[in-house]
Structure 1
Amino acid sequence: MLNHIVDVLADPIDGSPLSGVDDFSRLVSASGHSYDVAKQGYVTLSGGSGLNHEGDSLDMVTSREVFLSQGHFAPFVEAVTDRVSHALEATHADEPVVLEVGAGTGYYLSHTLDSIEGSRGVGLDISVPAARRLAKAHPRVGAVVADVWHGLPLLDGSVNVVTVIFAPRNPAEFARVLAPEGEVVVLIADHGHLDELREPLGILGVEEGKLERMLEQAAGHLVAVGDPQLLEFPMRLDRESIAAQVGMSPSARHVEAETLRGRLDALPEHMDVTARGVLVRLRKA
């Protein structure tokens, strides 16, 4: 709910603080700008520039919800929550703020908030269908529609931990909103992730050197802390789980639906598939 996190939100136009009025049906800034809160509980803070694209479609969001709810990525969510918990031990905030960029349906963020007493979550996503799910994901989550590339509608130094799970990154903005002792926790897909599905389905692979490029882009804003943590585990997936996994990914836009359905139907009833990711910790440079 937005009332839990409004004290860290900022006007996307001029960066001034926001507050809720008219029973939180609107957020208004100190400079007089007003932003309507949707009836589903999220707010769009995109400033005058608007949004570059719509993000995940309703079908992609539904696929994400189906796949994640089955627990296939549980080791990923446990690792992220554990890392956030350790990072917050260095803070002295009574109600620490966790920002997830590209929060989707709120699966990861909700798990983290459930595990850390008193924590508050800002879930940010460019997708309106995702924000509708996100707004109802957890009582201490506030859902915001915004484009990370246009800037984060949050006050300087207002966030204790930023999490980014398989989502876009803006290192300069992460450094700006991060509290002095804060940490950025990033989970990226590693080369080999879901490779068993690449050839039979003709879907996108994970390019090599992704971690190195991320660290290069962060230079001057964020620095790595400790060694990256490799997370690798097997998953036994049935056809519908595989369909949901592909449907929630960028591959959903690169293979025609009829073609993909035919390839899925040709798969065995179950497949052993490898999940592979790298967890990286960063702090202000």
Structure 2
Amino acid sequence: MLSDVTDIMADPQTGQPLALSADNTTLSSADGRGYVIAPEGFVVAKGPGAPLGDTGAMVHARETFLSGGQFGPFVEAVTEAVHDALDDAADPYLPHPVIVDLGAGTGYYLAHTLDDIAGAYGIGVDVSEPAATLLAASHPRVAAICADVTATLPVADHSVDVVTVVFAPHNPEECARILKKDGQLVVLTAVAGHLSQLRAPLGITDPDDDVLDKLNTLLGDRFSAVGPAEIVDYQMQLDQQAIATQISMSPSARHIDAATLAQRAATLPDRMNVTARAAISRFTPNS
């Protein structure tokens, strides 16, 4: 809920604190700059040049696929990493730690984490309005913000305990700015072998072999790794419908037209084992 985290909201243009209006329709700074709260419950804080993000069809596909539990081990890995990050904090007994999920999508990962961490508050950020609509309704302790995760975030400096980035774009500068000095960044990244059985038949590219090296290089100026990345690797049994929704929710849906994807998917078996493989990493801000 937005009122739970208003005290750490800040104008992304000026850094001034934002206050919730009495009728819960805007967040405003002292100089009068305001950000509308949509009827669906999310704050609109993206600039005119922000990307559109996932379409309604992609968001629906994501919701359909994730609700089947196929990415359950990934969800559990993220939640466990957040627990570990909070345990490492200077005060591991905070009654209301704040978790910001960048590229939060429908809120599936964030909601699961909040269910598992009593008293935690969540801020989910996604540039897609269809995603933000579901994000706002995903959990009673989620505040949803529709904003570009690669731009300045409407969050105060050094106010957040954990930032999570799950299969989403990175913004090292902003993550370092909003995290507390003893906070941590948790990243889940697809690695080589993820969905390998689908890639050649469907014409989609594999993650680079050096994706983790690239991640460490990207974050290196502002973050240090908390130990080596842990690989989460398991087999999913997917039918044609699950395969279709998985591909439709991914970036591949932007680059290959739907008819071509459907035609290629139709050549696959009715059911097949598909590898799910990603790395979970934790990072601390450099002093």
TM tier, shorter chain? over 0.9
Opposite residue 80 of structure 2, the aligned amino acid is D
- Asked if 2 retains the 8 angstrom alpha-carbon contact of 1:187 and 1:279, the reply is yes
Structure 1 equivalent of residue 104 of structure 2: 103
2:273 is aligned with 1:275: no
Q: Pick from 66, 70, 87: which aligns with 2:64?
A: 66
Structure 2 equivalent of residue 143 of structure 1: 144
Structure 2 equivalent of residue 182 of structure 1: 183
Aligned counterparts, 1:53-202, within 5 A: 53-91=51-89, 92=91, 93-202=94-203
- Secondary structure of 1:153's counterpart equals coil
RMSD: 1.0
Deviation at residue 142 of structure 1 after TM alignment? 0.4
Distance in 1, Cα, partners of 2:7 & 2:135: 19
Structure 2 equivalent of residue 5 of structure 1: 5
| CA deviation vs aligned residue, 1:104-158 (integer Å, no higher than 9, x gap) | 0000000000000000000000111100000000000000011122211100011
TM-score scaled by length of structure 2: 0.96
Distance in 2, Cα, partners of 1:88 & 1:200: 42
Opposite residue 53 of structure 2, the aligned amino acid is G
2:33 is aligned with 1:22: no
Opposite residue 255 of structure 1, the aligned amino acid is I
Aligned counterparts, 1:173-252, within 5 A: 173-252=174-253
Opposite residue 169 of structure 1, the aligned amino acid is H
Deviation at residue 63 of structure 1 after TM alignment? 0.5
Distance in 2, Cα, partners of 1:90 & 1:279: 16
Deviation at residue 204 of structure 1 after TM alignment? 2.5
Q: How many residues align?
A: 283
Q: Which runs of 5+ in 1 are unaligned?
A: none
Deviation at residue 216 of structure 1 after TM alignment? 0.8
Aligned counterparts, 1:254-273, within 5 A: 254-273=255-274
Opposite residue 55 of structure 2, the aligned amino acid is S
Q: Which runs of 5+ in 2 are unaligned?
A: none
| CA deviation vs aligned residue, 1:65-96 (integer Å, no higher than 9, x gap) | 00000000000000110110121123432210
TM-score scaled by length of structure 1: 0.97
| Larger displacement relative to structure 2 (24-33 or 63-72) | 24-33
- Asked if 2 retains the 8 angstrom alpha-carbon contact of 1:203 and 1:254, the reply is no
- Secondary structure of 2:150's counterpart equals helix
- Asked if 2 retains the 8 angstrom alpha-carbon contact of 1:11 and 1:45, the reply is no
Deviation at residue 30 of structure 1 after TM alignment? 2.5
Q: Percent identity?
A: 47
Distance in 2, Cα, partners of 1:50 & 1:120: 29
Deviation at residue 51 of structure 1 after TM alignment? 3.7
Runs of 4 or more, structure 1, over 6 Å off, are none
